[in-house]
Amino acid sequence: MSDSFQRPIRFLPSLDKKSVIVFYHVVIWVLIVSIAIIATGVTTYDQIKIIHWITIFVGALLFPLFLNSHPRELPEKEMKRAILSIVVSFGILGMVILIALILKVL
């Protein structure tokens, strides 16, 4: 590489930071959909258990990939947009979890 980027975790690939953020969005939305279809009774947890656990595992793997991603910093406008979209996605995930718990109680 032409610049002085050093990967913090050498054995992991260095992906584009935007790609890792897009993967985070996919993971969050797969969790939202899986929780929603379980809560509404379309399917059971046992039927999609493997998808749920693979999604959680991939989400955990994305953190070191994000640390290893290139470039180190996104432009300020893109960083604000990415942070806002991830916060909104996590907010929706939280609301879906709360609604699922309320539906379970009722």
Note the pLDDT tens digit of each residue in 52-101.
899 999 989 888 888 888 777 788 898 899 889 999 999 999 999 999 99
Strand partners, 19: none
Residue 75, class by beta-carbon neighbours within 10 Å (0-12 exposed, 13-18 middle, 19+ buried)? exposed
For the segment 19-27, the average pLDDT, to the nearest whole number, is 90
pTM for this predicted structure: 0.80
The C-alpha torsion from 70 through 13 and 34 to 86, rounded to 10°, is -10
